[in-house]
């Protein structure tokens, strides 16, 4: 598949002049500014970054509309402003040079931005077979819609008594934030108001459709980035609906915390027996990349799982194992289903800040499950 290069086209529009007639009291309005200059320069094609330069004579202040939100920025003088477009589409950049709030001139540029920067050849790719194993299930996301193996979790978790999904997360999960495109599963987190929340995203799972115990799991994916983002590829025990969490067990194949995009976390959660009835216990490992980040290109997040051990792997390199032989680890001898989601905010990553940009996407190329041949 060829890499598709972002296209940024700039169409110049005619300078438009707004002025006010004399009011009913025959008071003469201030003269508007003149010679408004607006220039737009693409500075990073791959990331949708542009520089917007503007200036005018006799202007007291400027208002800049970038077209990807309803808000504007106000400046007291002409200058060059850097801006990044994080989604494809057609946008109108508009600058107004003001004498007063009512007296101004304006100029616009139309932008067409096509960010198709998902390069399937960039990053690690795992084999389709392993000696001593057979492929028992896979999803390559080659269709036009999500397969029947997946169902959506919707909302904030409040309907099941876990408002914020038990982690004080900020997003509302919607089906509309999941799509299948060009052979990829894309889960998109957006800054938008819905259901009383300021962010939306998606959470999908194979509960009731596909679940597994033991084997090797490979998931090829590229992560989002930015403070407050929290993507996860994980599993819950099938017994979740009967005995709850953490008694059912949880396997986090991959978690990443925005702002620390060069580090992957693999973790187990379980119910640790005690005289008071048991408590939530967890243990895991993490690995930092030597170069780059998990958002730069695709990586393969793997789990090798048998009755005695779970081993976490990144790009076929093991970075930590956990012993399953103690009796309190019995949950990990049972079947688990998959959950893929992108959370926003929460106890671990914290909230987004002024550096966070949206939308953000977790892109999954495939998930494959192999089990040992008898």
Three-state helix/strand/coil letters over 282-324: EEEEEEECCCCCCCCCEEEEEEEECCCEEEEEECCEEEEEEEC
Answer yes or no: 128 catalytic.
no
Pick left, alpha or beta for residue 292 (phi over 0 → left; psi -120 to 50 → alpha; otherwise beta): left
Considering 255, 260, 261, 282, which one is annotated as catalytic?
255
Partners of 344 in the β-ladder: 229
Closest CA to 213 of 269, 266, 268, 251: 251
Please name the residues in contact with 262: beta carbons below 8 A apart, sequence gap of 6 or more. Answer: 288, 289, 292, 293, 294
Place of tokens 């093991």: 318
Considering 47, 250, 260, 334, which one is annotated as catalytic?
250
d(CA 178, CA 37): 41
d(CA 54, CA 285): 50
Pick left, alpha or beta for residue 238 (phi over 0 → left; psi -120 to 50 → alpha; otherwise beta): alpha
Task: Using DSSP, state whether 64 is helix, strand or coil.
Answer: strand
SS3 content of the chain, % helix, strand, coil (to 5): 5, 50, 45
Answer yes or no: 250 catalytic.
yes
CB 138 within 8 A of CB 367: yes
d(CA 142, CA 1): 14
Please identify every residue annotated as catalytic. 250, 255
């Amino acid at each position: 598949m060829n890499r598709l290069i972002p296209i940024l086209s700039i169409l110049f529009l005619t300078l438009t002049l707004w002025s006010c007639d004399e009011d009913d009291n025959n008071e003469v309005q201030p003269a508007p500014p003149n010679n408004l200059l607006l220039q737009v320069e693409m500075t990073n094609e791959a990331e949708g970054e542009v520089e917007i330069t503007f200036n005018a004579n006799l202007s007291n202040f400027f208002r800049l509309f970038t077209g990807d939100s309803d808000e504007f920025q106000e400046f007291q003088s002409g200058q060059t402003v850097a801006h990044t477009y994080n989604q494809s589409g057609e946008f109108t950049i508009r600058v107004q040079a003001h004498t007063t709030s009512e007296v101004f001139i304006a100029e616009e540029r139309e932008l067409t931005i096509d960010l198709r920067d998902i390069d399937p050849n960039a990053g690690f790719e795992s084999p389709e077979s392993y000696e001593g194993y057979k492929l028992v299930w896979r999803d390559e996301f080659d269709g036009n819609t999500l397969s029947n193996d997946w169902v959506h979790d919707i909302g904030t978790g409040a309907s099941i008594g876990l408002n914020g999904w038990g982690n004080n997360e900020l997003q509302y999960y919607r089906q509309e934030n999941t799509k299948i495109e060009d052979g990829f599963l894309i889960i998109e987190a957006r800054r938008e108001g819905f259901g009383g929340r300021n962010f939306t995203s998606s959470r999908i799972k194979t509960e009731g459709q596909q679940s597994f115990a033991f084997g090797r799991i490979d998931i090829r994916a590229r992560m989002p980035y930015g403070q407050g983002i929290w993507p996860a590829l994980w599993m819950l025990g099938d017994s979740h609906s009967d005995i709850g969490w953490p008694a059912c067990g949880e396997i986090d194949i991959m978690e990443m915390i925005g702002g620390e995009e060069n580090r992957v976390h693999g973790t187990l959660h379980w119910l640790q027996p005690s005289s008071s009835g048991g408590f939530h216990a967890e243990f895991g490992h993490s690995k930092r990349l030597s170069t780059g980040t998990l958002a730069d290109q695709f990586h393969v997040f793997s789990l090798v799982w048998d009755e005695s051990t779970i081993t976490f792997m990144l790009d076929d390199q093991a970075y930590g194992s956990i012993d399953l032989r103690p009796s309190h680890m019995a949950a990990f001898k049972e079947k688990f289903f998959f959950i893929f989601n992108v959370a926003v905010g929460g106890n671990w990553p914290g909230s987004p800040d002024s550096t966070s940009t949206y939308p953000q996407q977790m892109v999954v190329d495939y998930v494959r499950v192999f089990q040992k041949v008898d």
